[in-house]
Structure 1
């Protein structure tokens, strides 16, 4: 029997048992749809993490003050202040270092006329934008003259600009930080969320000298909240980290065996760990969804076995009048593949639609790729062949006499 004849015979059989066919297809639809959605969510999370990592910058080390105990670092303020401007100056002398950006930071109220918002205010030096690779939409960066003169100027992120002004045309306008007026010097480009989920664009940057004098006062005038270190391109970050630790221990007069009163975080290591974790999450989600696809395949086998049993007499008649075993095998395989192909196509369409709906309603990033669509569809087709093979083989091996004997 030709393939076309087997195909139309298979379609006719599936149409005759339309309810059973529909329920079997539903199992495949759910499986493929689940795989598409899980892969889309996993890929979306992976993209968000990668974007957050790239927005921070490359070749960075972050140094925090505070006693280090049992692998944990106390937050600044919970222990004696241990990092100073002088430490930053000393670190900048290490040959492998490109720039050091000391920062003092605090969450404060920002106001423009009758509109106010809460934002992270950072006192920084001119090296900050070089370390963070953070460009401007408009305006100028904080300069050395701003530091020396303690000028009341501020750079603002896009979130602050939108909340206070509604647009980015804000140069030379006045904002108040803790009721102290500052002139807007520039608007920074959008950075998005950090790895921890904090909105980096909800930030204000002022000269570190101005911040220390007027808005972020401390009992320790030279202390800093943290510092960001950028290693020269191609530099050995691990060795540079060792040099920084050795230098700070020497400057802080820590004896052998004493715990560091600071911590150094390597953002490259953090980025690598985050990327590995998100890839593992994607694989886990896809594997969980794959179980439902496997269950759908088992459902196909069960339904096909029932179909073979119900159609035993039909199979016997066809064999008796000259049909070959290969014709019977091909027809049942075609039926299984048609079921999976229809289920796969429907599952792909629903999976893409529901992924976009989830993104719209929940606000998370989803990423449907051509690869995930093709993988889901071809796996569903393979499942049709794999789980349809045994029932088809069983049907093709029937003896006409035995099959016709069954009522």
Structure 2
């Protein structure tokens, strides 16, 4: 019986192709919107996690000020110095390495090519704390670091801009008139979690940057690598207590420095993107309900148009359950057809938007199955009332219908 009912439903849908497509349009848009938004949201979350993980795990970023920036008006908090770095390295349990950083920027020049880039002065502990391997060359040694030699390790963007992506090790570049021998090439990282190109950087020994670029011995950032066996919060509390003592912050005074845990940053950004994805998906899901209402309206019209047909079927022996099943199957097939088309459109949309936004392409089986199942459920829910109305018609009244 179901096979015959299904064939009748398909024939009825094919008999009015344009109307059927327009009826399923709401479901198509709803499914496509939900799947696209959820998939892109998960892709964004994955991209953020990847970018944050590129900063390294078990790392604390210690900066002067109360935020990522140094604040607006009023006296600026003092930068750190070498003694602060040494104290954190030697006095805090769970610290395996501390990499101080002094930053500047300038125009890098090699032969006829030039580009503005970031100059990052640090120590060898930077490469111990940060998981950033080289693809060519080497890092500087302890003797070069102590002497503040004019050697540098460059990112892939700098190599592309100045050396056309070719061999750069052993060659020399100049930044603001200061010479630097390229001794290593860093592997590609891509965009940072907070924007900016991580590969557009020239890394030098910190003494060279302090002496030739910044003109002072200030340290603007400390990257603290922590032992995985220690609680990060415990290490963070120890650093806070030590720096408050060293910077003469007593009583209830607010810290003039901040400590960021990369794991906490990742969790916060992931939670934010997940919440936004859920909100957008819920808004997009409203169109599914609208699509269901559209199916119910058209099915009610169809029942009115086919009242005489229904009367003939009931008169020659069809039972009410068969009529109900026929119209219910029609509604479900329309909804499922809309679901399939919506899923196909969603894949094209996700692929295009992923390329445009530089996001990884993800095919989420779960959300596709759920969206398709919801479209079928909508067909049942919104198709039941018209189907029930068709099945409850009186055969005599139906045959008299003009």
- Quickly name the TM-score band, shorter chain normalised: over 0.9
Change (3 A) 1:72 1:98: closer
What are the superposed Cα offsets for residues 17-75 of structure 1, whole Å, 9 maximum, x if unpaired? 22321211222211111122212221221111111111111111111113x4xx78625
1: CA distance, partners of 2:277 / 2:295: 27
1:210 corresponds to 2:208: yes
Rounded to whole Å, the distance in 2 between the matches of 1:4 and 1:260 is: 74
The aligned residue for residue 3 of structure 2 is 4
Q: Deviations over 1:216-272 (max 9, x none)?
A: 212xx2x20111111101311111111111111111222213332211122221111
Structure 2 residue matching 1:294: 3-state secondary structure: helix
Residue 265 of structure 2 corresponds to 270
TM-score, with structure 2 as normaliser? 0.95
Supply the distance in 1 between the matched residues of 2:14 and 2:187 (Cα, whole angstroms): 59
Q: Superposition pairs for residues 174-253 of structure 1, below 5 Å?
A: 174-218=172-216, 221=217, 223-253=218-248
Which residue of structure 1 aligns with residue 70 of structure 2? 74
Counterparts of 1:8-407 in structure 2, within 5 Å, are 8-66=7-65, 68=66, 74-75=70-71, 79-93=76-90, 94-218=92-216, 221=217, 223-407=218-402
Contact kept? 2:159, 2:166, Cα under 8 Å: yes
Please identify, of 316-325 and 167-176, the stretch whose mean Cα deviation from structure 2 is larger. Answer: 167-176
Task: Report the 3-state secondary structure (helix = DSSP H, G, I; strand = E; otherwise coil) of the residue aligned with 1:265.
Answer: strand
Q: TM-score, normalised by structure 1?
A: 0.93
1:372 Cα offset (Å): 2.5
Tell me the distance in 1 between the aligned counterparts of 2:266 and 2:51: 9
3-state SS of paired residue (1:227): strand
Deviation of 1:365 after TM superposition, in Å, equals 4.5
SS in 2 for 1:274: helix
Task: Give the Cα separation in 2 of the matches to 1:85 and 1:379.
Answer: 61
Contact (CA 8 Å) 2:296, 2:382: kept in 1 or not? yes
Q: CA deviation at 1:143?
A: 2.2
Task: Check the 8 A contact 2:79/2:220 in 1, yes or no.
Answer: no
Label 1:59 to 1:122 Cα distance change in 2 as closer, same or farther (>3 A).
same
Question: 2 CA distance for matches of 1:86 and 1:163?
Answer: 37
How far apart are the structure 2 equivalents of 1:398 and 1:76? 76
Residue aligned with 1:92, SS: helix
Deviation at 1:7, TM superposition (A): 1.4
Alpha-carbon distance in 2 for matches of 1:317, 1:148: 99
Distance 1:72 1:60, change over 3 A: closer
CA contact (8 A) 1:42 1:366 kept: no
SS of the residue aligned with 1:88?
helix
- Let me know the Cα RMSD of the aligned residues: 1.9
Once residues 376 and 257 of structure 2 are traced to their aligned partners in structure 1, the CA distance between those partners, rounded to angstroms, is 57
Gaps of 5+ in 2: none
Deviation of 1:370 (Å): 2.2
Alignment gaps of 5+ in structure 1: none
SS of residue paired to 1:238: helix
Distance (Å, rounded) in 2 between the aligned partners of 1:402 and 1:132: 81
